[in-house]
């Protein structure tokens, strides 16, 4: 299994920056991608950004040019630098890791505890 512990988040004004960090422990050799999702009140959880093992990144259109994801494979950490935050970025942000099905861990999607990001106008 994989355990994820995230940190960062908080309350900021529009235009400010925040940095989220997440560390993975457990069967980290099975991780194929790490990233961040978010869920705003009344909305479905959505991908913010993720980095696959080969370095390929994926991100939501709404955050391109403002958010930057980075991953340290040696330390099993992933960070999300969020700049020029907007009110609509307000959500609970969840660290996520995807593992190889061949590892037979009982699941392939692992989630951190979630951290609140609130952006005020």
**Tens-digit pLDDT profile for residues 88-106:** 999 999 999 999 988 888 8
Report how far residue 121's alpha carbon sits from residue 119's, in angstroms, rounded to the nearest whole number. 7
Neighbours of 22 (CB within 10 A): 26
Place of tokens 């259109």: 61
Q: Is 106 exposed, middle or buried (0-12, 13-18, 19+ CB in 10 A)?
A: exposed
Secondary structure of residue 12 in the 3-state scheme:
strand
pLDDT digits (tens, 9 = 90+) for 13-58: 999 999 999 999 999 999 999 999 999 999 999 999 999 998 999 9
**Can you name the residues that pair with 33 across neighbouring β-strands?**
52, 98
């Amino acid at each position: 299994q994989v355990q994820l512990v995230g940190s960062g988040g908080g309350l900021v004004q529009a235009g400010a920056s925040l940095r989220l960090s997440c560390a993975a422990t457990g069967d980290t050799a099975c991780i194929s991608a790490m990233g961040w999702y978010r869920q705003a009140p009344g909305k479905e959880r959505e991908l913010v950004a993720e980095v696959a093992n080969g370095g390929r990144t994926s991100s939501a259109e709404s955050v391109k040019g403002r958010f930057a994801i980075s991953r340290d494979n040696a330390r099993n950490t992933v960070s999300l630098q969020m700049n020029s935050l907007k009110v609509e970025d307000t959500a609970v942000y969840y660290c996520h890791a995807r593992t190889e099905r061949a590892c037979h861990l009982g699941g392939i999607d692992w989630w951190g505890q979630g951290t609140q990001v609130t952006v005020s106008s």
